[in-house]
Structure 1
Amino acid sequence: MVAYLDWATDGADWPNRDASRFVDAAGLRWHVQVMGQGPVVLLLHGTGASTHSWRDVMPKLASAFTVVAPDLPGHGFTTRSTKASLSLPGMAAAVSGLLRELKLSPERAAGHSAGAAVLVRMAVERLFTPDLIVSFNGAFFPVSGVAGQFFSPLAKAVAGATVMQKLFARMADRSAVERLLKDTGSRLDETGLKLYQRLFANEGHIAGTLGMMAAWDLHWVPQDLKNLTVPLYLVRASKDRTIAPANAERAAQLAPKAMIIDMEGLGHLAHEEDPATAAAIIADPQAFVRR
């Protein structure tokens, strides 16, 4: 049996715990954080992360916005969902269901990596109607080369295998997590390292991450970008070793209202490395667009 994160123990010192609540929506028991007052901003983390990814961004936005950030299906403290809801369209529909339950209509949204792709799908499907979307190192294109040929089949093979989930979780010691995060091009503080280690050491979170990887199909996302009618701000980090910074140029050529913002010297987790700048970009992205 898969062991999932326990809020009473694993969540006892969770970042922004006072803003946390648990909500039933779209067939899931969601962990979602809501704080602040003003226009609503939706924040979606990427594959393998959780609300902790926005831990230092949320308070900086809360003085001017109502900020809402969920753990995506199968991640963090949100319960494991069906195979369908771990796919891109399934996740978009699930997040939409959560917003309806919360009675919140985001005026803007920001997503990191895969979270950005979810937001674009939601907008194209008219599941929400934001004024703008900010993408931090958005994962809009399939992984190419050997990695793409290997990791997707691997995820499909082990996503439902409890033994493999347990094995992955047991391998998540501090040194392994440090190597994994270093490979993204980012350098996190001690708090960030410990939180990722807690997530990666949990079988339930690993199961959700592998399930999402197995269900993920980005081959038709380029068409979504072409159909996107709202402004899309593409934030790219110069040292990102997970999503090539050049992918922002590809996305900008497809999306009719796309603009590029550069974050120099940072990696894939740029919003965690420099949360002050990330929050400022979400609050006023136009001020950061390259001239």
Structure 2
Amino acid sequence: MTVSPPANSTIATQTWNWQGFPITYQTQGTQGAAVVLVHGFGASLGHWRKNIPVLAETCRVYALDLIGFGGSAKPTPGSLKPGEQVEYTFETWGQQIADFCKEVVGEPVFLVGNSIGCIAVMQAAVDHPEIARAIAMLNCSLRLLHDRRRATQPWLKQIGAPLLQRILKNQWIGQTFFKQLAKPATVRKILLKAYANAETVTDELVDLLMAPAKDIGAAEVFLAFTGYSQGPLPEDLLEVLPCPAIILWGEKDPWEPITLGREFAKFPQVQQFIPLEGVGHCPQDEAPELVNPILQEWIQVQSESTRQGTLN
């Protein structure tokens, strides 16, 4: 295991070997429940920099870079060949999270995800129920470009999304598109749409998201996921989720409408659905002063409930 100076945090970044690939993570805290934080698409463990120190006051906190993102390896897309290539699917990320909980954390954990990270942690819990105590989801991805969602979309999206996916499969076009996207000005514009409070879109945040985009293989990962229209929908996983869940949702999310997200509150596993007024797609970064206390209380209540159940 190696330790290297982090670019955006006082917490050391460590490396774990998974399937022959280096995976980066950070950890802080020496007591309390174990908590694993999982970022969204195009992000990294640094997206939790405003949450880790606060949660670590009472918990042992781990933030993980999914394979293909952040400081983790970005191997060639394809059927799993350890040390060479992986499929960028929720089954892959779910397995990575589950193995991390078993090999690094060593005990069942509270899983916290943002955006596609919510689906990844649910996949991990569904496939490996023994690793999850409970799940918190922040603005869960609705997967609106999924094949099974297409019929519910406006006709322009029904036609346009598959067409764009096919065009981007052309290597030259895909690479050119990614190079245009992976520029500071473009990233800032995207963030200003995703975040309701423009003041929280800082140079630090732009740099945080830009750095991994320069890695070899980053474009291939991006294009592989943008062409991924299969796999589970969040409701598929919620229906069979083996542990309790809590959902937080920024009301100003332009990508994942809260009106659709509220439907998830109907599942019996969901104990609370908490709207966050005036907040966009990434509440943990845009409004940590709202998110951190909710997560702290949730972990405490769930931990006490588990202790009471053990005593009884």
Instruction: Answer whether TM exceeds 0.5 for this pair.
Output: yes
Higher Cα radius of gyration: 2
Unaligned 5+ residue runs, structure 1? Answer: 1-6
Unaligned 5+ residue runs, structure 2? Answer: 80-86, 146-152, 302-312
Matches within 5 A, 1:1-291: 14-16=7-9, 18-38=11-31, 39-81=33-75, 82-84=77-79, 85-126=87-128, 128-143=130-145, 144-145=153-154, 146-147=156-157, 150-151=160-161, 154-155=164-165, 158=168, 161=171, 164-165=174-175, 167-186=177-196, 187=198, 188-202=201-215, 204-215=217-228, 217-285=230-298
- Say whether the 8 Å CA contact 2:5–2:12 is kept in structure 1: no
Offset, 1:253? 1.9
Offset, 1:234? 1.1
Letter paired with 1:267: G
Aligned equivalents of 2:37 and 2:137: distance in 1?
10
- CA change 1:149–1:196 in 2 (3 A) is farther
- Say whether the 8 Å CA contact 1:169–1:203 is kept in structure 2: no
Aligned equivalents of 2:184 and 2:207: distance in 1?
8
RCO higher in 1 or 2 (8 Å CA, sep ≥ 6)? 1
Letter paired with 1:83: G
Aligned equivalents of 1:273 and 1:222: distance in 2?
26
More displaced 10-residue stretch of structure 1: 152-161 or 61-70: 152-161
Letter paired with 1:67: V
More displaced 10-residue stretch of structure 1: 13-22 or 56-65: 13-22
Aligned equivalents of 1:160 and 1:98: distance in 2?
35
Partner of 2:304: none
- Say whether the 8 Å CA contact 1:83–1:215 is kept in structure 2: no
* RMSD of aligned Cα (Å): 2.9
Offset, 1:60? 1.0
Give the length in aligned residue pairs: 280
Offset, 1:159? 5.8
| Identical-pair percentage | 19
Letter paired with 2:97: V
Q: Match of 1:284, SS?
A: helix
- Say whether the 8 Å CA contact 2:43–2:69 is kept in structure 1: yes
Q: Match of 2:131, SS?
A: coil
Letter paired with 2:51: V
- CA change 1:104–1:203 in 2 (3 A) is same
How does the TM-score come out when normalised to structure 1? 0.84
- CA change 1:51–1:273 in 2 (3 A) is same
Letter paired with 2:204: T
Aligned equivalents of 2:58 and 2:162: distance in 1?
40
How does the TM-score come out when normalised to structure 2? 0.78
